[in-house]
Structure 1
Amino acid sequence: MNRITNRIKTYVVLSVLTSLLYACVPSKIIREENKTTPHTFHNKSIDSTNTATIQWKEFFADPNLISLIDNALANNQELNIILQQIDIAKNEIKIRKGEYLPFVNAYAGVETEKASKYTRNGAVEEQLNIHEDEKFPDPLNNFSAGISASWEIDIWKKLRNGKKAAVFEYLSSIEGKNFMVTNLVSEIANSYYELMALDNQLTIIEQSLQLQKEAQKMIRLQKEAARATQLAVSRFDAEVLKNKSSLYLIKQKIIETENKLNFLTGSYPKHIERNSDNFINIAFDTIYTGVPSQLLVNRPDIRKAEYELSAAKLNTKIARSNFYPSLDIKAGVGLSAFKPKYLTSAPESLVYSLAGDIVGPLINRNAIKAEYNTATNKQLQAIFEYEKTILNAYIEVENELSNIQNLKESFKLKEQQVNALSESIDLSIRLFKSARAEYTEVLLTQREALDAKIEIVETKRDQLLAAIKMYQALGGGWN
């Protein structure tokens, strides 16, 4: 009865000491993340229809572009690197899960020990007999085999929180892959339409060169008839040489853009299949933005930041639990004897052990405090990163909404400009032939028409890229 009473008193004293010791565990109040977004985008009505839910194979109608994206998703090296990172994160979950389960090991061993006769063990062995007329072995061998186990009891959920944090990091890596897919789809589409725009610019310059060569021939005939000067001939010659030079620059850009697409698809340089003839008439269906709160669900980078924040919160809890004592249980059972033949003589050769340890930091806890402070700082970083990602997503959509509208108006005006200048080319040539216009007017009209045609191609390209950017900004392209 006295023994039981003494044990109860001991447990009470230990509990009180532990409570007093860990009552001063630091705890920082960290604000919650702000998930609020505006109810709608600027000058947009509230409508939940969202283009981001459309799969990229439906968003892009060009079969050549779809084939390029398919190849990239299978062969892009950077994407494959990220897929390996996902597998690494999955393995980390298994590692963390194994940490809070018991560790069980099987062992077998043999050892030899020679004790001095002038030590306690040696003197005892000298006097002992195992059986009649059989002395204690000298040197003493020991053969053993058995099972040992160790288990850290997860009182404060430190190990389970570690496993949950690993799960969030795994989910974050998946969203990182999805964000990579979104960027990859967007980059391939951008480069593809850039390539088509370059093809059209090349065609425009070649057509312009034909007109300029005809004008150049006409100026030479005028000079022979003494109706024009060498200055006019030289000016037209210079203009033709200038545009021929531009041809080579565009051809180089075409090669580089093709090779960029080849790199993104994981292949060596080859021709990229495309049909650029109808480039100026390509159009996407109307893009529906939905409501800003849908960005939290559709954008992989926002979900990635959210999972990273959840992992950071758990890491803070893990760092705080380091202030509390840990409980370790160790146990073992097996057979041990100085000769192998005695190993089967149970229960005489049976050995077992059971021990439990409570260990906690008492003095010099500065390192643990520093780890806890670091964890809270990282949690705050994750909060700011999450809020920044949401804000950036909203602003990207707003920018592209404005960009699409302004490019639409700009394209209409450039169409009118091109039509007007195209008519002016024929008119300027007829006026020059009838000596009612100077050669400089012909030259400037052709130059302005060429610049206007190239600009309208660039504007069309920018319209297509803005639509792709909007699709990406809304969170489309990864599903």
Structure 2
Amino acid sequence: MTMKNKTFKHMSLGVLGLMLQACGTPDLLIKKEDTQLPAVFKEGVSDQANTANIKWKDFFGDPDLLNLLDIAVVNNKEINIMMQRISVAQNEIQARRGEYLPFVNIGAGAGRDKVGQFTRSGAVEENLPVAEGRDFPRYVGDFRFGLFSTWEIDIWKKLRNAKKVAVLEYMASKEGKNFLVTNLVAEVAHSYYELLALDNQLNNLEQNISIQQNGLEMVKQLQLYGRTSTLAVRRYEAEVAKNKSKLYELKQHITVVENRINFLLGRTPQPIQRASSSFMDFKPKMLKTGIPSQLLQNRPDIRQAELELAAAALNINVARANFYPSFSINAGVGFDAFALKYLINTPESLAVTIAGELVAPLVNKNAIKAEYKNANAKQIQAAYEYEQRIIRAYTEVANQISNIDNLDKNYQLKTSQVEALVQSIDVANQLFKSARADYLDVLLAQRDTLDAKKDLIETKQKQIDAMVDLYKSLGGGWQ
């Protein structure tokens, strides 16, 4: 073997050894997500039917609410912002797909240069044979145009994995939009039913004021006959004034809630169409909760976390590929001449170039290692976030199941309380007229009835809110 061949062999082995050293990657831990859930939400209750599969247009029966939801889903500003984020994620797929395809550019250039006399090129020019009577030109032209291509050969699937990451992130952004719609539907429904409850609170307060004004007139008449004192009249007047002041508090609260709904609908403040008279007759629906494992398919936020976890795992492969050699091919074909009149002469001015390049990191790989460790840490973080969303979803459903049951019992007892207090007002009035009870007994009976009715309306609102929250927690509201 010649000395030249030995030298080439040693250089090749050295380069190969250095590349193998460059390919070494740190050992890191990949976290496997835990998706285990209890078999049922409530002991003894197991049903495959799931209300989450019902579209919100079929779930809510109030036509005024459905009209508001239609506007909100189309016009809500947050939804429209999210749609643009989805568009950005979709464009990222196209960008990543283009990275592992050859790049072909077309270009042209022109220039003139003069080299120094005491340089290699200058010395050559001085000794070039030229025609008699002519000198070598002081400024030499350089005119060229053609096609130029670069292509990184994706041996380690770095670029293709990056494209898959972009696809997963795009799908996750769509699930994020679905989760945003779910929350929007629930928020509009909550605000709408709160508005109905406030209307009923206002009506209840106005009825109570009417009763107290009648009581005030009665006390004034009894005062004329010496049956009661000025103190009773003043106490009644104070009670009426206090409740009238509450009217304005309620009206302001109604305005705030109306404007909140308008904001969710992406429009300026305007009256909200609604029918409040049947609010207390509304019977919350009995929802089918299905089994806990269905949350993994029905909840958009869980599906979003699952896709983000898959993207994070692929990003580890992308970061690992940075340790490996990259292969690229550069090629070009075109025309090159020192004068325009010779530029398109073929084959004299035809220029072709092709080159291959193999590059691997060798010294100071700190940035690559840090990126790889970051990708691993983000995968572990995504796994924990996925597990956290699953646990949160299960907890939300379990809480609302218990809440609905307790609110139902609460509402029944409050209904009995209101019925008893309404009767107590009549009894107190009769006893007061016959001088067998004090005016304070009447006032207290009226006040307790007002407070009890207020609590009853609030409990009804909580029952409806619990129904909406359970529907959302199960994964309904985005279809």
Report what 1:204 is aligned to: 204
Provide closer, same or farther for how the CA distance between residues 417 and 3 of structure 1 changes in structure 2, counting only shifts above 3 A.
Answer: farther
Question: Structure 1 residue 360: deviation in Å?
Answer: 1.3
Structure 1 counterpart SS, 2:144: strand
Following superposition of structure 1 onto structure 2, how do residues 302-313 of structure 1 map, counting pairs within 5 Å?
302-313=302-313
Question: Structure 1 residue 26: deviation in Å?
Answer: 0.8
Work out whether residues 216 and 233 of structure 1, in 8 Å CA contact, stay in contact via their aligned partners in 2. Answer: yes
Aligned length: 479
Matched residues in 2 for 1:69 and 1:474: separation? 19
Matched residues in 2 for 1:109 and 1:321: separation? 36
Report what 2:63 is aligned to: 63
Instruction: Supply the AA of the counterpart residue of 1:256.
Output: V
Report what 1:455 is aligned to: 455
Report what 2:328 is aligned to: 328
Work out whether residues 114 and 139 of structure 2, in 8 Å CA contact, stay in contact via their aligned partners in 1. Answer: yes
Work out whether residues 333 and 353 of structure 1, in 8 Å CA contact, stay in contact via their aligned partners in 2. Answer: yes
Instruction: Supply the AA of the counterpart residue of 2:179.
Output: F
Provide closer, same or farther for how the CA distance between residues 184 and 130 of structure 1 changes in structure 2, counting only shifts above 3 A.
Answer: farther
Matched residues in 2 for 1:30 and 1:321: separation? 16
Structure 1 counterpart SS, 2:351: strand
Provide closer, same or farther for how the CA distance between residues 477 and 338 of structure 1 changes in structure 2, counting only shifts above 3 A.
Answer: same
Report what 2:270 is aligned to: 270
Question: Structure 1 residue 151: deviation in Å?
Answer: 1.1
Question: Structure 1 residue 35: deviation in Å?
Answer: 1.3
Question: Structure 1 residue 9: deviation in Å?
Answer: 4.6
Which string of whole-angstrom CA distances, capped at 9 and with x for unpartnered residues, describes residues 20-64 of structure 1? 414642121222101111111123522110000000000001111
Work out whether residues 128 and 135 of structure 1, in 8 Å CA contact, stay in contact via their aligned partners in 2. Answer: no
Percent of residue pairs identical: 51
Confirm whether residue 375 of structure 1 aligns to residue 375 of structure 2: yes
Work out whether residues 143 and 340 of structure 1, in 8 Å CA contact, stay in contact via their aligned partners in 2. Answer: yes
TM-score, normalised via structure 2 length: 0.96
Report what 1:258 is aligned to: 258
Question: Structure 1 residue 122: deviation in Å?
Answer: 2.6
Question: Structure 1 residue 315: deviation in Å?
Answer: 1.3
Report what 1:349 is aligned to: 349
- Higher mean alpha-carbon deviation, 116-125 vs 453-462, is at 116-125
- Higher mean alpha-carbon deviation, 191-200 vs 415-424, is at 415-424
TM-score, normalised via structure 1 length: 0.96
Question: Structure 1 residue 120: deviation in Å?
Answer: 2.7
Matched residues in 2 for 1:452 and 1:250: separation? 17
Report what 2:361 is aligned to: 361
Confirm whether residue 296 of structure 1 aligns to residue 296 of structure 2: yes
Which string of whole-angstrom CA distances, capped at 9 and with x for unpartnered residues, describes residues 115-142 of structure 1? 2333332333344467787654331111
Question: Structure 1 residue 419: deviation in Å?
Answer: 1.1
Question: Structure 1 residue 433: deviation in Å?
Answer: 0.6
- Higher mean alpha-carbon deviation, 421-430 vs 38-47, is at 38-47
Provide closer, same or farther for how the CA distance between residues 142 and 201 of structure 1 changes in structure 2, counting only shifts above 3 A.
Answer: same
Instruction: Supply the AA of the counterpart residue of 1:237.
Output: E
Matched residues in 2 for 1:336 and 1:14: separation? 38
Which string of whole-angstrom CA distances, capped at 9 and with x for unpartnered residues, describes residues 253-307 of structure 1? 0000000011110111111000000000112432000010110011011011111
Structure 1 counterpart SS, 2:294: helix
Report what 2:477 is aligned to: 477
Instruction: Supply the AA of the counterpart residue of 1:65.
Output: L
Report what 1:428 is aligned to: 428
Work out whether residues 172 and 303 of structure 2, in 8 Å CA contact, stay in contact via their aligned partners in 1. Answer: yes
Which string of whole-angstrom CA distances, capped at 9 and with x for unpartnered residues, describes residues 170-200 of structure 1? 1111111111100000000000000000000
Matched residues in 2 for 1:11 and 1:424: separation? 105
Structure 2 counterpart SS, 1:25: coil
Following superposition of structure 1 onto structure 2, how do residues 52-451 of structure 1 map, counting pairs within 5 Å?
52-128=52-128, 136-451=136-451
Structure 1 counterpart SS, 2:323: coil
Matched residues in 2 for 1:297 and 1:130: separation? 83
Aligned residues: CA RMSD? 2.1
Matched residues in 2 for 1:4 and 1:116: separation? 36
Structure 2 counterpart SS, 1:109: strand
Question: Structure 1 residue 230: deviation in Å?
Answer: 1.6
Question: Structure 1 residue 333: deviation in Å?
Answer: 1.1
Matched residues in 1 for 2:60 and 2:86: separation? 28
Question: Structure 1 residue 18: deviation in Å?
Answer: 4.8
Work out whether residues 19 and 360 of structure 2, in 8 Å CA contact, stay in contact via their aligned partners in 1. Answer: no
Structure 2 counterpart SS, 1:226: coil
Work out whether residues 144 and 335 of structure 2, in 8 Å CA contact, stay in contact via their aligned partners in 1. Answer: yes
Work out whether residues 151 and 328 of structure 1, in 8 Å CA contact, stay in contact via their aligned partners in 2. Answer: yes
Provide closer, same or farther for how the CA distance between residues 76 and 4 of structure 1 changes in structure 2, counting only shifts above 3 A.
Answer: farther
Structure 2 counterpart SS, 1:255: helix
Which sections of structure 2, spanning at least 5 residues, go unmatched? Answer: none
Matched residues in 2 for 1:329 and 1:24: separation? 24
Instruction: Supply the AA of the counterpart residue of 1:392.
Output: R
Matched residues in 1 for 2:420 and 2:42: separation? 35
Work out whether residues 22 and 361 of structure 2, in 8 Å CA contact, stay in contact via their aligned partners in 1. Answer: no
Provide closer, same or farther for how the CA distance between residues 35 and 131 of structure 1 changes in structure 2, counting only shifts above 3 A.
Answer: farther
Confirm whether residue 465 of structure 1 aligns to residue 469 of structure 2: no
Question: Structure 1 residue 11: deviation in Å?
Answer: 9.2
Work out whether residues 129 and 135 of structure 1, in 8 Å CA contact, stay in contact via their aligned partners in 2. Answer: no
Matched residues in 2 for 1:367 and 1:386: separation? 28
Structure 1 counterpart SS, 2:211: helix
Work out whether residues 22 and 362 of structure 2, in 8 Å CA contact, stay in contact via their aligned partners in 1. Answer: no
Matched residues in 1 for 2:303 and 2:3: separation? 59
Structure 2 counterpart SS, 1:322: helix
Instruction: Supply the AA of the counterpart residue of 1:442.
Output: V
Matched residues in 1 for 2:7 and 2:460: separation? 86
Which sections of structure 1, spanning at least 5 residues, go unmatched? Answer: none
Instruction: Supply the AA of the counterpart residue of 1:471.
Output: Y
Structure 2 counterpart SS, 1:406: helix
